[in-house]
């Protein structure tokens, strides 16, 4: 049940604004608290690297909603790693804090996963 809910949350589109004009991108907006995504602990014969780009609506009150995965890539197309990177990115993003903004806007954030040599 948790996986289905997480999958739904990750694929939820911005359909609430489908009939409206396109929502503007956030400009000059920075989080007041931000957290890096944690590298998942999964056994592998070699380090896997990846990148996840998320888009979300930043509400007038500074709250995050409607999180959507824009892209998710991993080295060697390891699908299990891709979903782990997505989960880690969304978990980190949910902790972020923003100050209130003048109007709702779309914000994009990239999380990169690399192993130190």
Alpha carbons 90 and 1: distance in angstroms, whole number: 17
Alpha carbons 53 and 59: distance in angstroms, whole number: 19
Where does the pLDDT of residue 117 fall: very low under 50, low under 70, confident under 90, or very high at 90 and above? low
Domain 2-16+23-36+49-113, what architecture? 2-Layer Sandwich (3.30)
Contact assessment for residue 59 and residue 43, using Cβ atoms and an 8 Å cutoff: no
Q: At residue 14, does pLDDT exceed 60? A: no
- Range from 1-15, 29-43, 62-76, 77-91 carrying the lowest mean pLDDT: 1-15
Residue 107 confidence (pLDDT): 97
Count H helices and E strands in the chain, helices first: 2, 3
For the chain, which residues make up each domain, given as ranges? 2-16+23-36+49-113
**How many CA within 13 A on the CB side of residue 104?**
14
Residue 21 confidence (pLDDT): 62
What mean pLDDT value characterizes the chain? Answer: 82
Q: At residue 116, does pLDDT exceed 50? A: yes
Alpha carbons 117 and 58: distance in angstroms, whole number: 36
Mean pLDDT for 47-72 is 95
Sign of CA dihedral 13, 18, 22, 28: negative
């Amino acid at each position: 049940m948790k996986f289905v809910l997480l999958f739904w949350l990750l694929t939820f589109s911005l359909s609430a604004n489908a009939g409206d004009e396109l929502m503007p991108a956030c400009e000059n907006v920075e989080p007041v608290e931000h957290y890096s995504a944690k590298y998942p602990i999964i056994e592998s014969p070699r380090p896997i690297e990846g990148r996840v780009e998320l888009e979300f609506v930043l509400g007038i009150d500074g709250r995050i909603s409607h999180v959507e995965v824009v892209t998710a890539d991993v080295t060697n197309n390891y699908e299990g790693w891709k979903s782990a990177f997505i989960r880690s990115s969304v978990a980190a993003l949910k902790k972020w804090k923003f100050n209130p903004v003048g109007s709702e806007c779309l914000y994009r954030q990239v999380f990169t996963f690399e192993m130190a040599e």
